[in-house]
Amino acid sequence: MKSYYEILEVGPEASLEEVKLAYKLKLLSTHPDKQRDEQRRGVVDSIDAIKKAYETLSDPKKAQSYHEELQESFKKQGFSINGSGLDVYTLALFNITENGNVLLWTRNCPRCTSPEAMLLTEDDLENGTPDGSGGYQIMVQCSSCSLWITVTYEEAEEEED
């Protein structure tokens, strides 16, 4: 399902004027006389979806509430968008396996779905960057495609013998 931002083709930081302009352009592009063959077959957004997106994003209170709900839904799915443009995942979403004496954290790529294409080792995690809130983050690239993600994690407590 597309977000209202995707429907109107604006970013979360868009001004009211930008939202209004995007709404008008989107409505014009969905007019039956302006559509191409592939658009007539349902490729374009519905007028109802465009109106709902505009109704929400043109009202500052509704837009703020929508943005917060959208961010919360991303977090519940295990990722969020940060200023770097990379999706952010938690290490808890990775599978832990042991290869000899080495622990490996793996995850299927969210883009190309290549199995275990996102791979982190203990050494990788020890070299993570502090995130300013007591945790760490590290960037990892899919071994099959060009996707990079940011992985956040907390330092494990040392076990006492």
User: From the first residue on, what is the mean pLDDT of each consecutive set of 10 residues in the chain (161 residues)?
Assistant: 85 89 88 61 71 93 88 63 72 93 93 92 91 88 90 76 53
Report how many domains make up the chain.
Answer: 2
- Residues 70 and 21 occupy one common structural domain: yes
In what helix (H) or strand (E) does residue 129 lie, and over which residues does it extend? strand 129-130
- Residues 92 and 72 occupy one common structural domain: no
Instruction: Report the half-sphere exposure of 47 (CA within 13 A, side-chain side).
Output: 8
- Euclidean distance between CA atoms 34 and 122, whole angstroms: 56
Here the CATH number for the domain that contains residue 108 is 3.10.660
Here the CATH number for the domain that contains residue 64 is 1.10.287.110
φ, ψ (nearest 5 deg) of residue 12: -60, -25
Query: pTM, whole model, 2 decimals?
Result: 0.48
Q: Determine how β-strand 148-153 pairs with β-strand 136-141.
A: antiparallel
Instruction: Identify whether 159 is part of a domain.
Output: no
pLDDT given for residue 41 in this prediction:
54
pLDDT given for residue 84 in this prediction:
58
- Residues 50 and 17 occupy one common structural domain: yes
- Euclidean distance between CA atoms 52 and 23, whole angstroms: 10
Are the C-beta atoms of 30 and 44 separated by less than 8 Å?
yes
pLDDT given for residue 73 in this prediction:
74
The boundaries of the domain holding residue 124 are: 87-153
